[in-house]
Amino acid sequence: MKASDLLLKCIEAQGSYRIYGVPGEENADVMISLLDSNIEFLTMRHEQTAAFSAAMEGYLTGQPGVCLSTLGPGATNLLTGVAQANMDHMPLIVIIGQASTHRLHKISHQNMDSVDMYKSVTKWAVTIRDADTIPEIVAKAFKRAQEGLPGAVLIEFPEDIAAMEVNAKLSVLPKIAVSDNKEIAEESISSFIQLLQSAEKPIVLAGDSAVRQAVDKPLKRFLTTANLYGASTFMGKGVISDHYEKSLYTVGMGMKDIAVKAFDEADLVICIGYDLVEWAPDRWNPRGDKKIIHINVAPAEVDSAYLPSLEMIGDIGGILTQINKQLTQGCTKDDIQSFKAIQKLVKDDLNQDDNNDSFPSKPKAFLHRLREVLADDDLLFSDVGAHKMWVARQYRAYQSKTCFISNGFCSMGGSMPSALAAKQIHPNRRVVALCGDGGFIMSIQALASASALKQAITVIIWIDDHYGLIKWKQEMHFNQYSHIDLHNPNLLQVAEAFGCYAQVIEAPSMLAEAFERIDKITDRPSVLLVPIDYSENMKLFEHLKRIV
């Protein structure tokens, strides 16, 4: 068989049956091999879309997503999506075509050192120089992508190697199991219990890895048994259900929000699945004086504001299950009245504007109505922009993997490609991408792909004709702003030109009826355009300055 055939068989052996990508000359052998493969290839309109989509598939399923491009500009176009996957810990296999090995040593057409370029944004980057090594390389790539904190792995495939004939009897390595490391030593459990019992004001901070491992049930049992208050980061939304009576909702804003007052008072912070890229520890431990427990799949990054008294490394659900078995009545904390008062302030603040139906829509009012319309297990993907802050702060999440916000690499343009991948995996659930007008145009190729694939995703665009988040930050720091005007085309006509159903939402109360109409559309995307009142951005800033 050809080496390109063998590559695909090895990918299948590792359990992956879908590749997102863009065809090119130097990956032509792989493209032709796909014709006789069980692997589904989804043709994207831009390599960045392919990387975002494959990364989200990996995040949702735990099985690494796979994306493919050609060399040179194809490889550079993938780079942003790959960097986001790696920093946001999404398991991803990246395959790029490359020039023939006989010209890699010199300046030649589209040739560049892609492996070296990718080393800083992947866990491992390798070139296939010998076709007989393909089974080992693919198996190692899948293992590296999943072990510890997941991330991206690059396989570069030169075109002359791809075209080679290889021994058809060459054995394909079986899928390599990644150890869960569920068991934690008894002395660590004892130390945990001791730290919890001695703390006067313990609090829980849940992050991305807790969501990735979907530890909702053991975490809820721990919180309720110990009677603890807890908050999540942007990327941890949902793992502590906002139905939980001691939820402090979400923390991580650039400005100091109300719930951070509880962290100011806390003497012990139990960090579960938290990564420093999600919310810098000096924001909640500025003096570096709090005791910290770190529970995650990998050791803590070294930071002067994040020096754990105890690290418990391994499968987070397994660790929590062990802790829960050891919790006794003596571990239950009395209700912390100051935390209770802070929680009330948070709730009252979040519920303002719930019934405001003015035009343009108020961010709080719109997200309140959207939460009413969407089921608990529907999926909402927030892009990056001013709307991200409002989604993180206002939108209630009730279970893991239902609200997605990149707050690690934080690239604009990821919401629609992510929604595209999610609809492949969850065809019977509502999948919504919420983006700003800047992020929408930046990733409009994903809408073209979703339309071609007849995917019934819903795209909500908050329109203010500016780079809203940059305007907000400039106003906060300089009381003026610069070069943030977008001069949008008619986005309703743009959406319709892509074959989408499109509608302008002039008031939050229109959402319920709009979704009733959208739910009947099963063969194309729907786009809801929402003029948004971003004067609320600075009002929130001034409001929080006064009360926090």
User: Where does a domain end: 128, 162, 196?
Assistant: 162
Per the domain annotation, does 359 fall within a domain?
A: yes
Beta strands in 364-450 (DSSP E): 379-382, 403-405, 431-436
The H or E element containing residue 541 is: helix 535-547
Full residue range of the structural domain in which residue 365 is found: 351-547
- We report the CATH number of the domain holding residue 143 as 3.40.50.970
**DSSP letters spanning 165-212:** B--TTPPPPPPPPPP------HHHHHHHHHHHHH-SSEEEEE-HHHHH
Instruction: Report the mean per-residue pLDDT for the chain.
Output: 94
Q: Is the dihedral of CA 287, 339, 235, 352 positive or negative?
A: negative
Q: Examine the domain organization and report whether 287 and 364 are in the same domain.
A: no
Choosing from 342, 373, 402, the residue where a domain stops is 342
pTM for this prediction? 0.94
- CB-based contacts of 124, cutoff 8 Å, min separation 6: 140, 141, 144, 153, 154
Instruction: Please report where in the chains the tokens 């500025």 appear, as a residue.
Output: 286
Domain assignment present for residue 172? The answer is no
- Rounded CA-CA distance 142/10 in Å is 10
Residues 330 and 372 in one domain: no
Strands, sheet with 152-158, edge to edge from the N-terminal-most edge strand? 40-43, 18-21, 65-69, 92-98, 152-158, 124-127
Q: Judge if 399 and 528 occupy the same domain.
A: yes
Domain count of the chain?
3
Residue 219, SS3?
A: helix
Tell me whether residue 112 is exposed, middle or buried, using C-beta atoms within 10 angstroms of its C-beta: 0 to 12, 13 to 18, 19 or more. middle
pLDDT for 380 equals 98
In this structure, are 360 and 445 located in the same domain? yes
Q: What is the dihedral sign for C-alpha 58, 63, 64, 67?
A: negative
Q: Is residue 319 assigned to a domain?
A: yes
372 assigned to some structural domain: yes
Q: Which of 162, 197, 230 is the last residue of a domain?
A: 162
173 domain-assigned: no
Same domain membership, residue 397 and residue 472: yes
Give me the tens of pLDDT residue by residue for the chain, a chain 548 residues long. Answer: 899 999 999 999 999 999 999 999 889 999 999 999 999 999 999 999 999 999 999 999 999 999 999 999 999 999 999 999 999 999 999 999 986 777 667 666 667 789 999 999 999 999 999 999 999 999 999 999 999 999 999 999 999 999 999 985 566 667 766 665 667 888 999 999 999 999 999 999 999 999 999 999 999 999 999 999 999 999 999 999 999 999 999 999 988 999 999 999 999 999 999 999 999 999 999 999 999 999 999 999 999 999 999 999 999 999 999 999 999 877 888 999 999 999 999 999 999 888 899 999 999 999 999 999 999 999 999 999 999 999 999 999 999 999 999 988 889 999 999 999 999 999 999 999 999 999 999 999 999 999 999 999 999 999 999 999 999 899 999 999 999 999 999 999 999 999 999 999 999 999 999 999 999 999 999 999 999 999 999 999 898 888 88
The answer on 376 and 320 residing in a single domain is no
Q: What is the spatial distance between Cα 151 and Cα 208, in angstroms, rounded to a whole number?
A: 13
Write the CATH number for 222: 3.40.50.1220
Length of the chain (residues): 548
242 and 385 in a single domain? The answer is no
329 in the same domain as 218:
yes
Does 168 map to a domain?
Answer: no
Q: Are 541 and 476 in contact (CB under 8 A)?
A: yes
Do residue 196 and residue 279 come from a single domain? yes
Structural domain contains residue 223: yes
Same domain, 144 and 192: no
pLDDT of residue 236: 97
Residues 358 and 316 in one domain: no
One domain, residues 149 and 193:
no
Handedness of CA 366, 371, 375, 379 (dihedral sign): positive
Neighbouring-strand partners of residue 250: 232
DSSP conformational letter for 356: -
Q: What is the pLDDT of residue 173?
A: 67
Q: Does 297 map to a domain?
A: yes
